[in-house]
Amino acid sequence: MIKIGLTGGIASGKTRVASWFAEKGIPVFDADDAVHRLYDGPLIPLIGKEFGSECVRDGKIDRAELGKIIFADPEARQRLEELVHPLIRQQMQDQCLKAEIQSEKLIILDIPLLLETGWGKFVDEVWVVYVPAKIQITRLMERSGLTREEAERRLVAQMPMEDKKRKADRVIDNSWDWRETEKQLEMIWKELFS
């Protein structure tokens, strides 16, 4: 089974690319989704203890408040990653094992921080969904209602897209409209399954 590490920057369209493969029946592990599930349960008391009660409101993690803290302070982001990453890595390995038992040809591991965390060592190929930084900022501001400064701060928290692009085994350019991206995905599909 081939393990594809799918990554990109925030607002690059990585999730949409992963969804395209999922619609074709390919198993996809979505690290962001796994994190959100952890935020709804096991991580609530840990985050409250580590980052303060203002990050937990009405028994739920206040993601906006937590985001303000971790995107302004690299040490705080590191502490959060030390809580979250071991749990996500275990879930990823469990899903890979399940896919292998089911004799899947490949699995897509949709992991935003694949290269930043060093998890590239767990995959056979690294695919990067690429867009230039200025497109990321525009999309992020439109999607999340962030100011330019907030959007730029989130980009700075990740490895620059140009660096990710250089480390990729395959680059999927999502700078244009979706149809152009889909053409690239169809070519990849033919290559993998013809």
Give 33-73 pLDDT, tens digit per residue: 999 899 888 899 999 999 988 899 888 999 889 988 998 89
The segment with the largest mean pLDDT, out of 23-27, 32-36, 141-145, is: 23-27
> What's residue 158's pLDDT?
84
Give 74-98 pLDDT, tens digit per residue: 899 999 999 999 999 999 999 999 9
Domain count, the chain: 1
pLDDT band for 114, please (50, 70, 90 cuts): very high
> What's residue 146's pLDDT?
87
> What's residue 71's pLDDT?
84
Q: What is the mean pLDDT of residues 150-165?
A: 88
Alpha carbon of 13 to those of 6, 16, 36, 98: distances in Å?
Answer: 11, 5, 18, 26
> What's residue 154's pLDDT?
86
pLDDT cut 90: percent of the chain above it: 74
CATH code, 82: 3.40.50.300
The angle, 0 to 180 degrees and rounded to 10, between the axes of the packed helices 63-72 and 74-101 is: 110
Q: Tell which residue, 100, 80, 89, 98, has the closest CA to residue 39.
A: 80
pLDDT, averaged across the chain:
93
pLDDT band for 155, please (50, 70, 90 cuts): confident
Coil, strand or helix at 27: coil
Coil, strand or helix at 35: helix
Alpha-carbon distance of 42 to 45, in angstroms, equals: 7
Q: What is the mean pLDDT of residues 129-143?
A: 92
Which stretch of DSSP H or E encloses residue 104? none
Phi, psi (deg, nearest 5) at residue 42: -60, -30
> What's residue 125's pLDDT?
97
pLDDT of 182 higher than 90: yes
Q: What is the mean pLDDT of residues 168-184?
A: 96
Q: What is the amino acid identity at position 34?
A: A
Contacts of 177 (CB under 8 A, 6+ apart): none
pLDDT band for 166, please (50, 70, 90 cuts): very high
Residue 10: which domain range?
A: 2-193
Which stretch of DSSP H or E encloses residue 156? helix 148-156
